[in-house]
């Protein structure tokens, strides 16, 4: 196949995947943030992720949120005196952001993260909370995040865990799907009749992508390890019965690098040297 045809084919695949992701998250937009308020693994990993992210912020930080969605953390960041540049491409999410009544300090870039015009070395923190895994090439995108970050600043992402998903599928008797996910390193997230494919990570590969981007002091944590161990339904019961104790357990598990791959999600943090 001539190189031009190969390039056209690859571009078509990227465009189709981007369209699927936009359609999915647009249909989910209206009630998306509310799902993080229910006693569930989502609430647990959101609380954990916020604890890590908030510890990285210097006073008056410039935060770039790649895949900001409906702005779940936006108001709290602005109320703390930070400036936020949000990147979002799903029309449904953008519509919600545009209806928010916000104080000054927020800039919305209506672009795919691969095309967002963020100046080099302009951010104190670049974060991608569950979004970089939908990029056509996450490793390249992580390098771009590092380029947006000033010396001494941080990049923080969380992604779905390959290991945890494979074990979850095996536990549910879905052996063929588990082996397929392991082979392709791709997952599917869906709802309301829509679905989108995403990249799955293990700790080794996520840390390698951070290192290849020139990031240093890289550390990786497993979020909601307990949910991966006992299942999402039983975990919701655990959260409802005693959220404080469940989160205390998760903080201990996340602190140990040996447990990273067993969390439903992997959260990685790296610093730009300087």
Positive or negative, the Cα torsion across 140, 59, 266, 12?
A: negative
pLDDT digits (tens, 9 = 90+) for 83-123: 999 999 999 999 999 999 888 999 999 999 999 999 999 99
Chain-centre distance of CA 7, in angstroms? 28
Is the pLDDT at 239 greater than 80, yes or no? yes
Q: Are 154 and 272 in contact (CB under 8 A)?
A: yes
What span, in angstroms and rounded, lies between the C-alpha atoms of 234 and 223? 16
Task: For residues 191-195, give the mean pLDDT.
Answer: 81
Q: Containing domain of residue 33, as a range? A: 3-272
Total number of domains in the chain:
1
Instruction: Name the pTM for this structure.
Output: 0.92
Positive or negative, the Cα torsion across 96, 191, 129, 80?
A: positive
Report pLDDT for 20: 83
Q: Are 256 and 212 in contact (CB under 8 A)?
A: no
* Domain CATH for 159: 3.40.50.150
């Amino acid at each position: 196949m001539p190189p031009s045809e190969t390039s056209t084919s690859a571009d078509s695949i990227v465009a189709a995947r981007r369209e699927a992701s936009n359609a999915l998250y647009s249909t989910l937009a209206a009630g998306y943030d509310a799902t993080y308020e229910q006693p569930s693994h989502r609430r647990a990993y959101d609380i954990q992720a916020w604890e890590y992210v908030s510890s990285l912020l210097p006073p008056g930080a410039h935060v770039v949120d790649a895949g900001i969605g409906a702005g779940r953390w936006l108001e709290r960041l602005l109320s703390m005196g930070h400036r936020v540049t949000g990147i979002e491409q799903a029309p449904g999410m953008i519509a919600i952001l545009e209806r928010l009544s916000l104080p000054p300090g927020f800039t919305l870039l209506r672009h795919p993260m691969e095309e967002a015009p963020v100046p080099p070395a302009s951010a104190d923190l670049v974060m991608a909370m569950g979004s970089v895994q939908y990029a056509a090439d996450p490793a390249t995108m992580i390098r771009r995040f590092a380029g947006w970050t000033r010396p001494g600043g941080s990049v923080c992402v969380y992604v779905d865990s390959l290991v945890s998903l494979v074990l979850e599928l095996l536990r549910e008797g879905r052996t063929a799907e588990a082996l397929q996910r392991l082979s392709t390193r791709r997952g599917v997230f869906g709802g309301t009749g829509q679905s989108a494919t995403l990249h799955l990570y293990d700790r080794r590969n996520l840390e390698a992508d951070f290192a290849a981007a020139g990031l240093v002091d890289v550390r990786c944590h497993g979020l909601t390890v307990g949910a991966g161990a006992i299942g999402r339904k039983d975990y919701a019961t655990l959260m409802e019965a005693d959220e404080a104790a469940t989160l205390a357990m998760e903080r201990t598990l996340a602190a140990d690098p040996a447990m990273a791959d067993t969390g439903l999600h992997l959260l990685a943090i790296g610093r730009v040297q300087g």
